[in-house]
Amino acid sequence: MTATSVNPKSPARTRIRVNRLVLYTALVVITGLFLGPFGWLILTGLKAPAELAAAPVHWLPTHFEWHNFVDAYQAVDFLGYARNSLIIATIYATLVTLSSAWVGFGFARLTAPGKKVLFGILIGSMMLPQMITLLPTYLIFAKFGMVDTYWPWVLWGLSSAPYLVFLFRQFFAGLPRELEEAAIVDGCGYGGIFWRIFLPQSWPVLSASFVIAFTWTWGDYIAPQLLLSTDHSTLAVAVMTTYVSAAGTPNTNLQAAASVMYVVPILLIFLVAQRGFVAGMSTSGLK
Amino acid sequence: MTVDQASSPAVGRPHPTAKAGRPRSAATRTGPSMTTRKHRAFYMFASPWIIGFSLLTIAPMAYALWLSFTTYDGISPHWHYVGLGNYRELMGDSVTWDALGRAGLFALLSVPLSIIAGLALAVLVNRPMKGRGLFRTLLYLPAVVPPVGAGIAFKNLFDQNSGAANGVLTFFGFDAIGWLADPYARYVLVMTVLWAAGNIMIISLAGLQDVPRELHEAARIDGASAWRTFRSITVPLLSPVLLFQTVTGVIASVQTIMPMLLAPMAGTGGLTTIPQSNYTYMIHVFSEYFALGRYGYASALLWVLFVLILIATGLIFRFTSGVVFYNVGPEAQK
């Protein structure tokens, strides 16, 4: 690094360089701490069971057991669980993106008596503790025989999510008014205006919303744990509960390897879709 | 917020069709007036949310309220109405109060710490420097890791034998600690929240970038120190963001299921393996529902928590109303 070379002629510049060196060192250390838990998870997934039991901690595996990842994949129906996760997350993300765009359009471009009150309730409902509503919702779904089906995610998807509605509302409210005026003169209904004029303009928000909703569902543990039987459950539940030996002891290294394979797709999606993700987060946090 | 700016047709520039729609007498057109059409259209667009919210949020809450007055257990048909019986039992139940205290302590530790950490990170990576985009991404990454991944990562990191935390302790000659058991488990729980401080970093960063540059320059010319500038300019301007983070942080911490993911045994069957210090209110609710099948009592617990959260949110808003600074100049109206 050039920051270490000191220029004796200008003390001010030296101070800036030292400051910068301190800043970089601090950032590298902090970033290391933040990545540490995930790094340790990967290392655990690469160790043999005997090594995990060894008395002084083995920092690095003596032999990198790459086959742990294959074993974790084969020990349980990993692909089946991943497929369930993929199906549920896709169903929910597609439906909730469309329904939230639909509702968001209404709040952004139309008026009616009671709209302000409804908008207040919508914003307030973002703060509702979801866990509190989930438990009685589970009891109701159980009553209607929807346990162990994908219906709960279809219904949740159709009813839109306040957070995403808000995201779409902000986007649609910023589009010029001429967009729908011309269409109204042409005799186009609001449904048509939404579908043919607004939706094609909103690819950035649509994809951001899809990614956000997909990662929610992929990451959700408690709803599939309650609503789906073990065989039909998602990868989140399987990774948490199925890596146990016949004797009932946890297969720590296989579970670690499996959880790496479970988390990495989400990290990749995030890295690819970073901008929309972060833009969405910031909007929701500020308003 | 400018709710109506884009949606009211009569404001701003008058338009032939909008005008024709306004007076009811303009019945030269066939069908309902523009305004009525617009009203109907609004409700047509809002209906998925209105119906969904009624059926999947209000109805379950009402159902839980009804259950809370009964002894229903999910199986037996011989349940009966007990009025406020469950609530009376709850008042005298020390397990409930202890669990509530633990949830409160957890919120009191995790919310301020993660906000301070997130804000500090935001200030660090807001400086103009090479590679700050990379640092931002890497620091935010843990916040993207789903709870199950975080739970397993921390279980391995703090494992009594094979965990890195004890590895460091024993390396420096200290005794290994049973991190995942009493009384240390609660600190591991707090650390899982701190790990996701990148969330608060990103939101604060967006707020920091809205702070007008001239303010900082003026402060520097006046000879204000960096800390002084931070305290007197940055924090007040960020206060709405920080308030929002406090409220959502408290709500998130109260309903966390992370103790289930850190427990030796996972799933609703493993509820009894959660160490005492991580037996929070929400875990208590789960135990009453799934380990004991006391739906009525558990529903009463849920409603008490719901009301407490409403009160806490109200109190937070009230106590910060004089402190939080809302920038409502013309710039903020955008």
Domains in chain A (CATH in brackets) are 2-67 (no CATH), 75-286 (1.10.3720.10)
pLDDT over 90, % of chain B: 45
Look at chain B and report how many structural domains it folds into.
2
Contact A192, A183 (CB under 8 A): yes
Mutate: best of A20, A92, A221, A222, partner B, most B CBs <10 A? A221
Stretch B38-46: mean pLDDT: 90
Dig out the tokens for A95 from the structure.
């439906």
Chain B residues close to A267, C-beta within 8 Å: 141, 144-145
| Residue B73, domain member (yes or no) | no
**Does B58 lie in the same domain as B156?**
no
**Does B249 lie in the same domain as B130?**
yes
C-alpha dihedral (A55, A58, A63, A65), degrees to nearest 10: 90
Contact A154, B55 (CB under 8 A): no
Whether B38 sits inside 8 A of A111 (CB atoms) is yes
pLDDT of residue B306: 92
**Does B149 lie in the same domain as B24?**
no
DSSP state of B295: H
pLDDT of residue B1: 39
Beta bridge partners of A209: none
**Does B97 lie in the same domain as B61?**
no
**Does B46 lie in the same domain as B195?**
no
Nearest chain A residue to B59 by CA: give it.
A137
**Does B103 lie in the same domain as B32?**
no
Cβ within 8 Å of A, B 174-203: 195, 198-199, 202-203
Chain A residues close to B33, C-beta within 8 Å: none
In this complex, is the C-beta atom of A274 within 8 Å of any C-beta atom belonging to chain B?
yes
Which ranges of chain A have pLDDT less than 70?
A: 1-10, 275-287
Burial B25-61 (b: 16+ CB within 10 A, else e): eeeeeeeebbbebbbebbbbbbbbbbebbeebbeebb
| Residue B302, domain member (yes or no) | yes
Region of B267 on the Ramachandran plot (φ > 0 left; ψ -120 to 50 alpha; else beta): left
pLDDT of residue B12: 40
**Does B55 lie in the same domain as B111?**
no
The pLDDT mean for chain B works out to: 83
Model confidence at B209: pLDDT above 90: no
- Residue contacts between A and B (CB atoms, under 8 Å): 291
| Residue B77, domain member (yes or no) | no
Cβ within 8 Å of A, B 85-114: none
Residue B118, domain extent: 93-333
Name the 3-class secondary structure at B81. strand
Cβ within 8 Å of B, A 156-195: 156, 158-160, 162, 165, 172-175, 177, 181, 184-185, 189-191, 194
| Residue B224, domain member (yes or no) | yes
In this complex, is the C-beta atom of B135 within 8 Å of any C-beta atom belonging to chain A?
yes
pLDDT in tens, B100-111: 999 999 999 999
**Does B111 lie in the same domain as B43?**
no
Model confidence at B65: pLDDT above 80: yes
| Residue B83, domain member (yes or no) | no
| Residue B5, domain member (yes or no) | no
Instruction: Measure in Å the smallest separation between the Cα of B14 and chain A Cα atoms.
Output: 11
pLDDT of residue B22: 44
Name the 3-class secondary structure at B287. helix
Region of A114 on the Ramachandran plot (φ > 0 left; ψ -120 to 50 alpha; else beta): left
Radius of gyration of chain A, Cα coordinates, nearest whole angstrom = 25
Model confidence at B323: pLDDT above 90: no
| Residue B3, domain member (yes or no) | no
**Does B49 lie in the same domain as B192?**
no
Number of neighbours of residue B301 by Cβ within 10 angstroms: 30
pLDDT in tens, B117-135: 999 999 888 888 888 888 9
- Give the DSSP per-residue string, chain A: -GGGS--TT-HHHHHHHHHHHHHHHHHHHHHHHHHHHHHHHHHHHTS-HHHHH-SS--SS-SS--THHHHHHHHHTTHHHHHHHHHHHHHHHHHHHHHHHHHHHHHHHH---TTHHHHHHHHHHHTTS-HHHHHHHHHHHHHHTT-TTSSHHHHHHHHT--HHHHHHHHHHHHTS-THHHHHHHHTT--HHHIIIIIIGGG-HHHHHHHHHHHHHHHHH--HHHHHHS-GGG--HHHHHHHS-B-TTS-B-HHHHHHHHHHHHHHHHHHHHHHHHHHHHHHHHHHH-
**Does B60 lie in the same domain as B177?**
no
pTM of the entire structure?
Answer: 0.85
pLDDT of residue B331: 45
In this complex, is the C-beta atom of B46 within 8 Å of any C-beta atom belonging to chain A?
yes
Residue A169 neighbours by CB under 8 Å, 6+ apart: A104, A105, A107, A108
CATH number, domain of B126, equals 1.10.3720.10
Give backbone dihedrals phi and psi of B33, rounded to 5 degrees, phi first.
-70, 165
In this complex, is the C-beta atom of B207 within 8 Å of any C-beta atom belonging to chain A?
yes
**Does B261 lie in the same domain as B303?**
yes
Chain B residues close to A228, C-beta within 8 Å: none
pLDDT of residue B26: 43
Mutate: best of B56, B116, B148, partner A, most A CBs <10 A? B148
Whether B50 sits inside 8 A of A127 (CB atoms) is no
**Does B32 lie in the same domain as B179?**
no
Chain A residues close to B289, C-beta within 8 Å: 135
| Residue B210, domain member (yes or no) | yes
Contact B251, B159 (CB under 8 A): no
Give the DSSP H or E segment for B292. none
ipTM here: 0.88
